A and B are shown apart, each in its own frame.
Chain A
Amino acid sequence: MTGYTAKKAGYAIEYIALIAVVLIVWCVMAGRGTLNEIIMPAPSKVLDTVTELIGSGVLWTNLVISVVRVLKGYFIAVVLGVSLGILIGLSKHAERLSVLIIQIIKPIPPIAWIPLVILWFGIGESGKVFLIFLGSFFNILINVHDGIKQADEKYIEVSKSMETPFFKHIFRLIIPGAAPNIFTGLRIGLSSGWMCVVAAELVSSTTGLGYMIMNARQFGQTDVVIVGMLTIGIIGKLMDSLLRAVEKRAIKWNWSE
């Protein structure tokens, strides 16, 4: 029992060791005055800024705006990505029709879309949502497609030998079998959509975390930039953990108790 607790404690130390080292080095360097305040503000300064941004509600407001944007784009990406992924995974015709266009559009980074997006959608909200959609859609589509296609031939044979009706075959066999891949797609889709938020908010935005960072840069407020970056990182991690928890519940059969 004590051995077990000791092991757990050891793991906990490993998890935070690197972060602790970075923080200590940062503190020491700032303390000795070797850091240029503009290039790298002291930890204490960043801490003050966090308190101030939270206190004034600025951080919270921008965070909520960014999260809502990401969720909108992500939601559309999930609906389209999952359904089209299943379709092209099941139909060889749909697959042949779409594979080339997907392979060509996928590598274009969302930032490269910005000029077109401004022309198409103007500088309003929908353009930003569209960029986030682009960021997550292909990741979801490709993973769902893979999962459906990789359906285990052995299970398909079992289902065939029972003359399983089509819809039952799809919903009880093919889709559950692809569930691990589908969830991978959903997770990668969310994190890449979230990563696009800064790019999306470069499109003449006056709100959001991306705007907050770009705006602070113009005024040389490196501390605000760092707070914005860390917020994006932490929220991204939390979103991923949340989806992992959902996944764990949804595909119980894949996890040992």
Chain B
Amino acid sequence: MEHKYIEIKGLSKIFTRKKESVHALENIDFSVDRGELVCILGPSGCGKSTLLRAICGLDTEHSGDVFIDGRKVIKPEKTRGMVFQEHRLFPWLTVEENVAFALNGVDKDTKAELVQQHIDLVGLTGFEKSYPRQLSGGMAQRAGIARALVNDPELLLLDEPFGALDTFTKMAMQKELKQIRKKSNTTMIMVTHDIDEAVFLADRIIVMSPRPGSIVKVIDVDLAEPRDRNSYEFLEIRKEVFNEF
């Protein structure tokens, strides 16, 4: 049977702690093509991180299924890179050691080269030997992105990766992400709060409702590259997304 690269079928998630329960996701259904960049927008607490964790395979206690390449996701795999909402760098490792941690079974020279390349990519050159506590929030986030990219994942899951960045760094990182995508055809699913960011980056925007999170609208972003943030078409789509909130 024909299948899409990623298929999410009837995904629902209820967290239960003691007697309380939180209905986080309700019947999420969507699919993603290989090489596509999908942005997920939604109010805080609507289950965006929960959804990414399910796709990654970090959380498999839910009803419904996630299929990648026709196979059911039952555990995390290194072909799926995850950039967590909090940077989650290991405090006892330097930036370069943190990035290198993701690489297994790679010889020393290649490793050093890949690590340096990705540190340069996120603009942290000169901070290789710094510990996470010596970095600003935005720098730590960028180091986290380098760590997720260094494995050259097939699928990149990004949970508000640019949340702590200033406007200019953010725009530079968005361009960088587009470059990476063009170069390696990585499929990306990105959670964001920023409508402009979503319209600038995405092929498709999925808008979610507040708890329990469900999909309220899917918006195709058919804009020519390079996208101009001030063009009429850009602003039209921006308005369309905005109206959902």
Q: Do A and B come from one complex?
A: yes
Task: Point out residues on A near B: beta carbons under 8 Å.
Answer: 154-155, 157-165, 168, 172-173, 176-177, 179, 251-254, 256
Contact for B88 among A154, A251, A253, CB less than 8 A? A154
**B residues 137-167 touching A (CB-CB < 8 Å):** 151
CB distance from A249 to the nearest CB of B (A): 13
**B residues 66-119 touching A (CB-CB < 8 Å):** 75-78, 80-82, 84, 86, 88, 90-93, 101-102, 104
The answer to whether B62 has its CB under 8 Å from any CB of chain A is no
For the complex, what is the distance from the CA of A169 to the CA of B21, rounded to whole Å? 33
B101 near A172 (CB under 8 angstroms)? yes
A256 near B133 (CB under 8 angstroms)? yes
The digit string for B38-50, where 1 denotes a CB below 8 A from any CB of A, is 0000000000000
A251 near B78 (CB under 8 angstroms)? no
Question: Could you say which of B82, B92, B104 has the most chain A C-beta atoms within 10 Å of its C-beta?
Answer: B92
Contact for B76 among A160, A173, A176, A254, CB less than 8 A? A160
A161-B104 CB under 8 A given contacts A173-B90, A252-B131, A253-B133: no
For the complex, what is the distance from the CA of A222 to the CA of B82, rounded to whole Å? 68
**Total interface residues in chain B, CB < 8 Å:** 24
CB distance from B148 to the nearest CB of A (A): 9
For the complex, what is the distance from the CA of A172 to the CA of B80, rounded to whole Å? 21
A162 near B88 (CB under 8 angstroms)? no
Task: Point out residues on B near A: beta carbons under 8 Å.
Answer: 56-58, 75-78, 80-82, 84, 86, 88, 90-93, 101-102, 104, 131-133, 151
Contacts of A254 in B (CB 8 A): 91-92
Query: Could you list some 13 contacts between A and B, CB below 8 A?
Result: A159-B101, A160-B58, A161-B58, A161-B76, A161-B78, A161-B81, A168-B104, A176-B90, A176-B92, A253-B131, A253-B133, A254-B92, A256-B133
Contacts of A163 in B (CB 8 A): 76-78, 104
CB distance from B203 to the nearest CB of A (A): 24
Contacts of B80 in A (CB 8 A): 161
Q: Which residue of B lies closest to A172 (CB)?
A: B101
Contacts of A252 in B (CB 8 A): 131
A155 near B78 (CB under 8 angstroms)? no
Contacts of B75 in A (CB 8 A): 160
CB distance from A13 to the nearest CB of B (A): 32
B58 near A162 (CB under 8 angstroms)? no
Q: Which residue of B lies closest to A177 (CB)?
A: B92
B92 near A253 (CB under 8 angstroms)? yes
